[in-house]
A and B are shown apart, each in its own frame.
Chain A
Amino acid sequence: MDIKLWRNSPYPDQVRMTDPDHDILQALTAGDHNALGLLMERHLHAIKSLAWHMLGDEMIAEDIAQEVFIKAWKQAPIWQSGNAKFSTWLHRVAKNLCYDRLRKKREVYMDTIPEMVDDTDLAEAAMIMQDKNTSHKNHIDMALNKLPERQHMAITLCHYQNKSQNEAAAIMEINVRAYESLLARARQNLRKLLQPHKKSIVGGFGEHS
């Protein structure tokens, strides 16, 4: 059946020229399952890794990854880029799903949570970490999980996903200055949280503003 589509292409011209996933998206739009396989080969690890770093659970991270790629499959024919690349959109979907899970988790355990980590929280977290005979990796995980979700997301995108500042800001749907501010605060809070373990982390944290 020949159906005239509402729009001929999901991309504005400038994005079509630069998006490395353009061909895959065209094939997805035509209902090609192999294209979904190719898309996953390119982005599944990154999406799963994002969810794993945010939520700390591999099973949940896999569920999130499945939701992201099924959404990509369903919405490919009607997807509109705006100015974003398809991979940026995939990361945004993953980010929003992670925030949803974190909020549900928080609703279960506490009534309110402060947006910023203050010194009292940091000291408390540091004491908890000092009391427990946890491994080096657990110290890092606990410190990361103590960060507010947006700081946690900023450090994940920069350190674990190696995203450029423009792409990370686009994924977080904020401007670059706001992203840099979140990133700087995240690292500052991590230094404070990990300070009690400076011996096990070799040396401690030197000069910082």
Chain B
Amino acid sequence: MRHEQYRELVNTYGAHPARWPEDMRVDALTYAYKNPEQAAKTNAGDTILDKALDAGALPKTDNDLLMARILQAAKETPQQTALPIESPANDHPTQFLADDIKAPYVLKWKTLAATLLITMGIGFGWGQSMTDNSDYLDAETLLAFNNDTDSTALTWSDDNSGTNQ
């Protein structure tokens, strides 16, 4: 370990080796052992800061009353329950063929098919309603269609007559 790494470690975690990350502890202690003066100089400020912080630690207090209060509150509080397997939230494609949940899926397919049919019906009805208000267009389209049919019939008739001849 280089001096800069050691200094960074101490500046981050403090001077007490117990707070250093486990994977760096051996290297850092080896550095401190080999370079005692530099390590002591680096540690000095952070040792003081650590001691200052120690003064702010919460003293060990008696928590019996608090524990009793929390236990009493827990007795008056119901626990949340886990979702049963029948819940829709647990539907999954891999469960599709399982006997005990086949029925709800069949019902779902029926619902889907019915929805599809209704949608198609509404779609056609809507399409029809678009042409209901355009009589002129309808008539023109019909006429054009009839003309086409007539001309085709004529051509066919001509060809036919030619062939027959």
A interface residues, Cβ below 8 angstroms from B: 3-7, 31, 33, 36-37, 40-41, 44-45, 48-49, 52-53, 58, 62, 65-66, 69-70, 73-78, 136-137, 139-141, 144, 155, 158-160, 162, 164-165, 180, 183-184, 187-188, 190-191, 194, 201-209
Contact = CB atoms under 8 A, between A and B. Distances in A.
Given A140-B53, A184-B12, 4 more contacts: A3-B84, A44-B66, A78-B80, A194-B49
12 contacts: A4-B85, A6-B87, A58-B61, A66-B70, A66-B73, A77-B82, A137-B56, A140-B52, A155-B53, A159-B50, A188-B11, A203-B44
B47 to A, nearest CB: 9
Interface of B: 7-8, 11-14, 18-19, 21-22, 41-46, 48-53, 55-58, 60-61, 63, 66-67, 69-71, 73-75, 77-85, 87, 89-90
B84 A207 contact: no
What DSSP secondary structure best describes chain B's contact surface? helix
Q: Which 7 A-B pairs have the closest CB atoms?
A: A206-B45, A205-B45, A206-B44, A140-B56, A6-B83, A184-B12, A4-B85
Contacts of B60: 45
A159 B14 contact: yes
Contact of A194 (B7, B8, B52, B82): B52
A66 B65 CA distance: 12
A58 B63 CA distance: 11
A139 B48 CA distance: 14
Contacts of B79: 31, 73-77
A65 B55 CA distance: 23
Contacts of A65: 66, 70
A207 B14 contact: no
A160 B90 CA distance: 43
Contacts of A78: 80-83
B82 to A, nearest CB: 5
B48 A202 contact: yes
Nearest to A7: B82
A73 B77 contact: yes
Contacts of A141: 56
A49 B63 CA distance: 11
A201 B63 contact: no
Given A53-B58, A159-B53, A69 B22 contact: no
Nearest to B66: A62
A137 B55 contact: yes
A77 B81 contact: yes
B70 A4 contact: no
